[in-house]
Amino acid sequence: MTPNPDGTNKGERNRTRLERELALLADVRRRIAASEPTLRIPTTTVDRILDEYLQLPQQDPSHGR
């Protein structure tokens, strides 16, 4: 891929965006749980996505790009 002027390629930007959005989901999940412990909002899908993502091996950003 051709790097942008900032030195990143589309794959790196997509991964950064995904990581930022997953962090946001994790934060929302924490806030919901902390705000009202008796409030039960199903977060099964978010939990599964975050769990699967956290189990993925972390890639070295300088490797394979």
Q: How far is 24 from 27, CA to CA, in rounded Å?
A: 5
Report pLDDT digits (tens) over 1-18: 455 666 668 888 888 898
Q: pLDDT tens digits, residue range 45-55?
A: 778 887 888 88
